[in-house]
Amino acid sequence: MSGPTEAARQSGASGPHGAAELPSATVTSYNLETRDEDGFVGDKASRKAFLEHLDALRAHLKRKGDDPLAGDTAVLGKKELDALLKEGNAAEAALVLSAVENFAQSLAFVIRRFARLKTWAPIERIVVGGGFRDSRIGELAIARAAIILSTEGRAIDLIPVSHHPDEAGLVGSAHLAPKWIFEGYDSIVAVDIGGSNIRAGIVELRQKKAKDLAKARVWRSELWRHADEEPSRDDMIRRLGRMLKNAIATAQEEGFRVAPFIGIGCPGLIEPDGSIERGAQNLPGNWESSRFNLVEAVRERVPRIGDHETEIILHNDAVIQGLSELPAMQDVAHWGVLTIGTGLGNASFQNRAKPKKSAKRSGKG
């Protein structure tokens, strides 16, 4: 594999980034910014929205002197909320459950609004990922929203992403390119860029166990919480370059045959040439500048892997997290993904192959 020539890059030739047509599925939409009278609909189902529900309940209880919690709602993390649910007294657990119920109602509302859109109307199953899913409160909110939609007669299967959300954003990169490209290799390099973290690692393809990559998994990854350090955009790229080189070197030392391929998930609307049109405002610095190209910035730092030039494919992070579930979505024709984090990521897909009949997946976390 080899990347575009220097002449092609200088000419501004288009590339495969942010593509709608992928090897096994069509991306029918992503990064939708649906609005209503209150603003972006997706904001109603973000982690911030959950905390706002909890804060509103606490404000009501405080007026009566009955708030069972102490401190600021904003500092409560997933672990603390899960602990209140599991180990708190009855009033504390009931308060968190009430917030879960209100958030589930909001999530169901958002799904109803998305279902009005042409690309989402035929969807049969929605996978929910993102950091919020990696908690008991997140799992309960997803399951409760599924019950709400089911009692309304909506034929939508709502399930949590099966991989750990941190790993789903890496595993999905294995579905960005045709499988024949990886012949002779057993692993690829993947990157997941978010508003708070960057994760880079090696995805073990395990094609001998499953040709459809259903058994692909993260072998090893490194997490950098850049939000704690407030770096510039260029600092982030330099640190990412070091992370990638370390990951590749470690994998090769362990005997992995690493493909000359890097899959990158990043927030925003991705242009074919690897630039970002919009939606990356939560990242430090200006990632949407006409003078910045994420693909070329990474290629400059990792020009070769082994004996070959590095091929890089960039796509939206929600698309890639959704692709991690592709092997399990073969019994439906249309499906989507929602990622609950700082905001609400979204993408919808149509499979190329005819649906294969199988048992309906459980929504249990």
| Selection from 151, 61, 40, 73 nearest residue 105 by Cα | 151
Which tokens hold the place of 63? 């007026």
* Predicted confidence (pLDDT) per residue in 191-243, tens digit: 999 888 999 999 999 999 999 999 999 999 999 999 888 899 999 999 999 99
| 358 pLDDT higher than 80 | no
| Amino acid found at 317 | D
**Backbone angle region of 133, left / alpha / beta, with phi > 0 → left and psi within -120 to 50 → alpha:** alpha
- First and final C-alpha spacing in the chain: 39
In 3-state terms, what secondary structure has residue 282? Answer: coil
- pLDDT band for position 8 (50/70/90)? very low
**Whole-number pLDDT of residue 269:** 94
* Predicted confidence (pLDDT) per residue in 265-297, tens digit: 999 999 999 999 988 888 889 999 999 999 999
The segment(s) of the chain belonging to CATH 3.30.420.40 are 164-323
> For the whole model, what pTM was predicted?
0.88
Looking only at the bridges linking them, the beta strands covering 311-316 and 258-266 are: parallel
Cα distance between residue 8 and residue 3, in whole Å: 10
**Whole-number pLDDT of residue 31:** 92
| 245 pLDDT higher than 80 | yes
**Whole-number pLDDT of residue 15:** 59
Cα distance between residue 314 and residue 266, in whole Å: 7
* Predicted confidence (pLDDT) per residue in 60-117, tens digit: 999 989 999 999 999 999 999 999 999 999 999 999 999 999 999 999 999 999 999 9
CA atoms within 13 A on the CB side of 338: 32
* Predicted confidence (pLDDT) per residue in 148-194, tens digit: 999 999 889 999 999 998 899 999 999 999 988 899 999 999 999 98
- pLDDT band for position 36 (50/70/90)? confident
- Tell me which of 3.40.50.2300, 3.10.20.30, 3.20.20.70, 3.30.420.40 is the CATH number of domain 164-323: 3.30.420.40
DSSP at 278: E
The DSSP line for 209-233 is T-TTSTT-EEEEEEEE-GGGT---H
| 11 pLDDT higher than 50 | no
* Mean pLDDT computed over 238-251: 97
Cα distance between residue 87 and residue 136, in whole Å: 13
The DSSP line for 108-176 is HHHHHHHHTSTTTTT--EEEEESGGGSSHHHHHHHHHHHHHHHHTT---EEEE-SS-HHHHHHHGGGGS
**Whole-number pLDDT of residue 186:** 97
**Whole-number pLDDT of residue 361:** 53
| Amino acid found at 67 | D
Q: 223: Cβ–Cβ under 8 A, 6 or more apart, which residues?
A: 166, 197, 198, 199
- Tell me which of 1.10.3470, 1.10.620, 3.30.420, 2.60.120 is the CATH number of domain 35-160: 3.30.420
* Mean pLDDT computed over 37-60: 90
* Predicted confidence (pLDDT) per residue in 305-316, tens digit: 999 999 999 999
Cα distance between residue 212 and residue 332, in whole Å: 16
- pLDDT band for position 357 (50/70/90)? low
**Whole-number pLDDT of residue 179:** 87
